[in-house]
Structure 1
């Protein structure tokens, strides 16, 4: 079962920089999540229009330089295994093979991704070998529902159209706002700058290909190898026409078409999530903390931490948090006050599968005990055992996960 709702990936840094300003403009340093891998993730929440629940989203760029299938497969595979997302979105830019209909600033959602590589090379030509991956019917249904809802679709178009003014592209759109297309795309290791090459793809791979990019095939390989379903979307903004003028267009526009295309893709994702295409996977936290009896903790394998001096106080919370769903990493913080300086000890017991599975020793600061709780793929229960060298006046427990979702409860002493 998934930890989060959406894993959002881009191939290039420039795509990420453009899109994160749309998806989460107020992102701060404390929203970063670092692992031992070479990816730093940005974590944020998006609330749908009905304000019932939040989508939990982890996003990252897969490359600091040039993208490609191999890099996409490795890094997206690691990300999928880490976050176990309900759905995956690959965003960025693409080149259009249909200049008359799939125009600059438009976005294309892939229905089928035709991966290609050189299969046979001859003296004067080469032939392609292809693979085919389909976007899930459920994800495409939600895109079509958005497209068919005139109010939502027109609002997205207007937002994109107005945004073109800031980039100096408004007059170049000739009164035509960006459009959304559901088409087949080709994904290979080539930066396509040739109309002839694009036509060869159509001739050898499939006549229905309308755009080209470089990473989608790698993502599908990663999803297959990780046992993930095809719950994914390829959302690409059109930044060029995959022809001999590609480099000239980028130079003359100072890459503004690339930025505009990336941002339009992000505007679409944000608008679609606001309309709540799916139910969020993880409910908010609710602490159920009642003071218990020490006998609840007289179990084999659970260390005893009580202070033994006169006037000491031991607090037990046999049921603090009960989760039935998979859960990302979180922190339990216990803050306390006392009339005198006191020593404190803490133990957090995590029960999974009917027995204590993890015991996390405390990290103590003045007036604070905190526990780092790892991610869990199934349900679990949390219990606390706290011991103070003298009586405490107040006690407050906070549960905070990596997405900054918080639940707080005060315990009467």
Structure 2
């Protein structure tokens, strides 16, 4: 009996230990954010294959100003730590541009607003992929608390300094750098010009860049150097979600003997605001096709809004400068580039186009009368039937204002059964 009780106690201890919370990876949500403000994080796609994939995306560590003093990136972990639980962090990082950047890794207790542990300072170098590691063992004071991994700037915060966090491993597990993709529909032709309502120019002199030879391209071309805002745009079908990502890829080329410069934009049509913008992209005359990428992670302020992908002129707007977009991909799906073809009907008359004889006209009148009698009957509606028909009509609340007719929606044939009564009158 004593042995059974001992085994039972051991079993209960093991169960209680197993149900204690642990640090976990939240795979259902995108938990990256900036430390200094609520603006979305930015992905950089110049990362090497450091075991996680070539150009798969890296978190951009970059400031836009030298204030506030606390700036950087952070990742919110799932679960809660146990006493004596150890968290092991591994990071691959690289320098972007010619200026170094310094940062520290922190294990941060968001519940208590307390830095639990902090690494030494890591400094980037041009052309070097660095590895940073840090480990921390939790104490009882952190049990049940929210834990965050932070990458805190440790330099002068000059905006020219940029670095990419290619990957983050938490206790051997890769943390996703990709937010969930917003399922935009790109099958509909929704291209328009930005500066006016005239149609975009569609050309078929494009190379086969994976989408087909001479399958069609959209020109970025103006007709005058005003207005200042010119280009082409594609209205997306679908609405963004908070934390959802849009990734845009385009293949472009010169379509004239002069250079052209443009920028890619993610534009919120509803709020009339540019959410994200690429650097200026210059295409030289007769140059080979090149690619451009732009990604953006939506915040709650864009939920439910209309989004457009824009290609905005960034040169002197001289009409001789023409660039062409061979293809555009949104979240990996090709955008429809070719305008729909309007099919003209072909008429083949099977009746002679001659004046009907009196006999033929009388036959048509007889046929019409017969059909009317069969469908509508020959007995006028009763007073009660007319009252019911008028009530049905009034229930639709049909109003005529000028050339506009409004009313309640018709969802059932029974709502318009009054038409037969009115037709018999």
Instruction: Give the alignment's TM-score, normalised by structure 1.
Output: 0.31
Q: Name whichever structure is richer in helix by fraction.
A: 1
Structure number with bigger Rg:
2
What's the TM-score once normalised by structure 2's chain length?
A: 0.31
